[in-house]
Amino acid sequence: MAFDNLENQLKKYAEAYTQKYKSKLISDGNKASGKLVNSVKPKMLKNGFSILAKSYIEQISEGRRVGRIPPSNEILEWARAKKIKPEKGPDTESNRKRMAFAIARSIGMHGMLQKLGFKGTGIIDFVYNSLSREMGEDLFEAYKQDLEEQLKEQVK
């Protein structure tokens, strides 16, 4: 059986979710190197779709648990992308590494995203909730059309 209408709607929403994630990451100010934004991609599955992204999107969405220190080398890479320099001392590689370690330690003690009270942005829930109802209605309608077309073919 062909379910072309349903398949087209699934592709449409896979792309819509992908674009919504990318634009929300950018509008929230969560684009430093662009690696996360560029990693957001749809993957079509046999019975639906999935949105793939770097694993730390969950930490941005939900926040980072207190007690775990993130790798300072990743903080250093982020600081370079954001052009953040040490406030104290000269701008040397060793001072940048110290700064990255201090930021990582602070995240471990307090969590991340101070601007949100050390909680996450909620991007995963926000994007899902913004499209889920409309998607459900559209998928139901597409499935209904496909079934009606199948019935018409059977009756001929």
**Can you tell me the mean pLDDT for 48-57?**
92
Q: Which pLDDT does position 48 carry in this prediction?
A: 92
Output the pTM of the full model: 0.77
Which pLDDT band holds residue 118 (cuts at 50, 70, 90)?
low
Q: Which pLDDT does position 99 carry in this prediction?
A: 93
**Can you tell me the mean pLDDT for 27-33?**
84
For all residues of the chain together, what is the average pLDDT?
89
> Does 73 have pLDDT greater than 80?
yes
25: burial class by Cβ within 10 Å (0-12, 13-18, 19+)?
Answer: buried
